[in-house]
Structures are given as structure tokens and as C-alpha cells.
Structure 1
Amino acid sequence: MLAEKVINPAVAKYDVAQIMGGLYGDGIIALKGAFSRKWVQQLDEDIWPLYEAALKRPGGAVGRGPKRHYVEIHPEDIRGFVELATHPWVTAVSEAVLGPDYKIVEIGFDIPNPGAMDQPWHRDFPAPEDTIIGRRLNSLAFNLTTVDVTEDMGPFEIAPGTQWDLPINFEHEMFPSKASYARYKERAQRKMPQMGDISARSALTIHRGTANYSNKPRPALVLGVDSPTARNAERHDLQITRAYFEQIPESLKEHLTYRLVDKLEPIYQAHTIEGLMMGEA
């Protein structure tokens, strides 16, 4: 028998069938205007010093292609972490797809700078047996832009439904053969979210960052969430200081995979994706 649970009305208003249909169908869904522009501007202010510091630190910023980096951060590095992690839509989506015992395992940001090139089509990591054999999604990536995205800024591009593609002839189980590119380009959808919008996707859905022809960078925050059967936490090091831990709501603590520390330690990023470094051939 299922244990009784107090249902949050703010979470319950989101339809589970629509969430499941979107992520098991296209592999990506979104909520417009989830956060205020003021909240997003604050997030943008927090990101830039972290980016500059990461670029100066060995292993701090990982290349995702020419003029493109990914930086993993600590939850308390941004002022809005609790608001993000406890947003009713984030909670509803995580519970619907990953179950009530989902865990947040990663937070970071991706920045395609001016001059960034088209990435090759890829997955963010190899598909697990849960998906290949069990046909279940066991992880999600939430993304939140800190700018209003325009066509020339290198929008994120995704090929809906490809989270179910078997990794036949995939290099490193992540990079499909160029013979498949025509199919992905035919399906491709470019996403141009505005400040305050948030999306959730399966990182297994084939996607790429496109070329940034503008004179502006396009930062996007990433929140990684796992089901109990996923093992993505092994690629990350989610640290929380004891002082910050005391300020976190109890309802959020149970959904975090973390290492308690007295003082935050620099993150040396272990999840590199070598195939992204050259851009699309």
C-alpha cells in the first residue's frame, strides 16, 4: 500500500499525462514564464563571475566545442537555487517521470560564445539499459536561459522522439553516424526560449548546439535529475556546506545527492565529451 502523502496543490495542477506524453514522445517539454525576468537577471549576474573563475582553474570549464564551455557549480553559488529546485513544475515533472524518490545530481551552465560552431548531433551520455531494454527514462535535464534567445545566437536544436533510437553505429554510444544526419535535420526543432522560460528534456534525445553568429553569449543553466536506478551522480560532485544545508527546506534535502563539507572545494569536472571538441565536420 502506498504511504499517504500531502499533495501540494501547486504541483497537482500540472497534468501528469501531458508531462509523460511530452517527454516519452518528443523528449522535451517547456513551461513559459516560470520565473520572473528579475529572478533570471539575478541568475545571470551570478553566472559570470563563476564562469571567469572556472576558465582560470584547471578542469573548471570543460570545452563543448570551439568557443563553447560547460561549468559545473555548487548549489549555493547561485542565489535562486532553492526557488529553482522547488518550483512546482520542476517537482511535478520530476515526480511524474522519475518517481517520488528522484534526486538532483547536477547543476551547472553551458555558454556558447560568439563564434561557437554547430555541434555534431549527440546524446549527453550513453543510453542506459532502463531506456534501451526497459523503455523507461531514468534521468532528466532542466534548462533555463538567462537571455532572450534569437535565431543568430546559436539556439539549441533537438530531434524529437530520438531518445528511443538504439545506439547502432554510434561512436562512444553517444554520437550517431553521419548517415543519420539527414533524418535528424528533417526532424530538427530550434528552441528560442525567453527569460523566465524553463524546459525539461531527456538528455538522450539527439540534439546539438548551433552556430552563434551574434556578438552575444547565450548562457543556459542546467539542472540534472535522476531516478533511483540512474547513476549520473557518479559523474558529478554536488557539494553543500553544513551552514547552507541548515537553510534548505527539509522537503528539498530528501531530493538531493550531495557531499556535506565545511568549505566548498573547487570542482574538477569528470564528464568530458571528447566528440564535441571539433564542432560538426
Structure 2
Amino acid sequence: MNFANFRGPGMAYDVADIMGGLYGEGIIACEGAFAHDWVERLGADIATLFAEARERPGGVLARGPNRYYVEIHPERVHGFLDLVTHPWVVAVCQAVLGPDYKVVEAGFDIPGPGAMRQPWHRDFAAPPETLVGRRLNSLAFNITTVDVTDDMGPLEIAPGTQWDAWPGADPMFPPPALAPRYEARRQRKLPQMGDISARSALTIHRGTENRSARARPVFVLGVDAPDARNADKHDLQLSADFHARLPDAVRRHLACRVVDRLTPVVQAHTIEGLLMGSKG
């Protein structure tokens, strides 16, 4: 399956294709979902928010050397409504997570120049719904703000590994003995501005070395099925005014706090195993 296995917007999306991609390889994408000027504005917003976050204690989370994650308030980026109402995003959420899915996370990753290769990992421990029930109950959508090239530390993913289990070991980091499996299956993803990807965060993956002189910012949207608990790791906040201006069809899909005044997000999902990067 190619990275861009759907083209849009403005076309019908087949549920079997969506399910087959996410239950099979664990990642699918929509090529050319947004125009370049839309992505450029998103990138400018991310740059502003990153600069602000670095000025306050605890504003950014390290994900390895010169690699950062920042959780944000959705209304601080242009186009949030465009993203959560995009026909492909809605179709994917409904197909995999059901009609009562909830957006639980908005943020961005920035692997800067000099970011090291990460160890193979998944973003959180696989829940019983997946390991026992064989069902995906969460998804991560990614939107790159730059055209990714091979030297910019692109994502590598090991297709089909969202179902892997290794009882008794760290639930997020596979034992070293499994490394040959992931090396043999690895695919490097080079998305372009305007593309959206959707993946199971349980599919084994890693960021690679950023050997370029440019950062590779990527926006992250986390979405849960009703029985998932990833909202506990995040603090999605919307101001009362912004929340009131959203369509009812969007508000019902947000797992958020509605507040009179936005406060800095205290991100609770530190991943200790990523802090040093990988030498192997």
C-alpha cells in the first residue's frame, strides 16, 4: 500500500479500504487533502506556539535529543474546524471508532536538526480491547507542515505490528530480540504538504535521524472510541466562546474542558524510553 492510498477531497471513501488499511498495515493516508496555503498557515501557527511553549517551564516535552512534543489549545491554530470536519477524517473515524468517536488530543511534534533515531516503540500500552478483543479503539492523525525528504528524520513504521504483544516486558518498547522483525518490515514515510495520515499509535514505529538543517513539524490529532481512555493523558481545552461557535455536530465529538480562560496545558504523557534516542 502506498502512503497516499486515497485521493481527496470530494470523493467517497470506502469503509472496507479504510478498515483493511488500518487493521492490516496500520497506516493509511489521504493525499492532497489541503491546499499549500492552508498548510503554510498551520505551520506558522505551530512556529508561534512552539516559541511560546519554550518560554514557559514545562511548556514542551522532550521526545529525544532536539525532538519535542507540545499539546495545544485547538483554537490557537487556524483550520482546526477544517480538519475535524474533513470528509476523509470523519469517514475514517466513523469506520474504525464508530459514530460516537471523540477527539481527545491536539498537539504537534517537532524533530529538529540533530534529532536522533528513536527506538522502536508504540505510543502507549496496547489495551485489552486490542490485545484480546482484536479491535482498534484509537487513532492518530498526522499533518506534516513541510514536504518531507529522506534527510529530515521521517517516520519509519513496521506495518501490521499493531497486534504484537510481548508479555512481561515494557508494554511500549519491544524487547531487543524482536528488532529484526521490525527492521525487515520497516517502511519510511515521506508525506508532502497537504497530506493527512491516520494510523494506529500501537503500530510499531520510530522517528529517524534529522540530518537536515530544517525542523519537521507535524500536527497531531488524537481520536478515541467511546471505551478508550487516552483522554486521561491529555487536557483538551476550549474557551466557552470558541466552543459555542462550533457546530453541534463537532461539539459532540470533543472530549474537552470548556473554560472561561485557557490555561497552559500540563501534558501528562512523558515517554521516558524516548529521551536518549537510539544508537542501534
TM-score category, normalised to shorter length: over 0.9
In the alignment, which residue of structure 2 is the partner of 1:71? 70
For the 8 Å contact 2:123–2:202, the answer to whether it is kept is yes
1:182 equivalent in alignment to 2:159: no
SS of residue in 1 equivalent to 2:32: coil
State the shift of 1:12 in Å: 8.1
Over residues 165-203 of structure 1, what are the superposed CA-to-partner deviations in whole Å (9 max), with x where a residue is unaligned? 0133532x1001111111101100000000000000000
Q: Distance in 2 between matches of 1:128 and 1:60?
A: 28
- State the AA in 1 paired with 2:244: E
- State the AA in 2 paired with 1:23: L
Ranges of 4+ aligned residues in structure 1 off by more than 6 Å: none
Sequence identity of aligned pairs in percent? 63
State the shift of 1:245 in Å: 0.9
1:164 equivalent in alignment to 2:168: no
User: TM-score scaled by structure 1?
Assistant: 0.95
Which ranges in structure 1 are unaligned for 5 or more consecutive residues? 1-9
Over residues 246-281 of structure 1, what are the superposed CA-to-partner deviations in whole Å (9 max), with x where a residue is unaligned? 211111000000101111000111100000000013
- State the AA in 1 paired with 2:149: T
Q: Distance in 1 between matches of 2:189 and 2:134?
A: 26
For the 8 Å contact 1:169–1:176, the answer to whether it is kept is no
- State the AA in 1 paired with 2:40: Q
1:227 equivalent in alignment to 2:225: yes
Structure-to-structure mapping, 1:39-78, within 5 angstroms: 39-78=38-77
Q: Distance in 1 between matches of 2:53 and 2:174?
A: 30
In the alignment, which residue of structure 2 is the partner of 1:4? none
Aligned residues: 271
Q: Distance in 2 between matches of 1:74 and 1:95?
A: 24
Q: Distance in 1 between matches of 2:10 and 2:249?
A: 13
Structure-to-structure mapping, 1:192-203, within 5 angstroms: 192-203=190-201
Structure-to-structure mapping, 1:257-276, within 5 angstroms: 257-276=255-274
Over residues 118-148 of structure 1, what are the superposed CA-to-partner deviations in whole Å (9 max), with x where a residue is unaligned? 0000000000000010000000000000000
For the 8 Å contact 2:166–2:175, the answer to whether it is kept is no
Structure 1 residues 11, 98: closer, same or farther in 2, change over 3 A? farther
Which ranges in structure 2 are unaligned for 5 or more consecutive residues? 1-8
User: TM-score scaled by structure 2?
Assistant: 0.95
- State the AA in 1 paired with 2:203: T
- State the AA in 2 paired with 1:190: R
CA RMSD of aligned residues (A): 1.1
State the shift of 1:56 in Å: 1.8
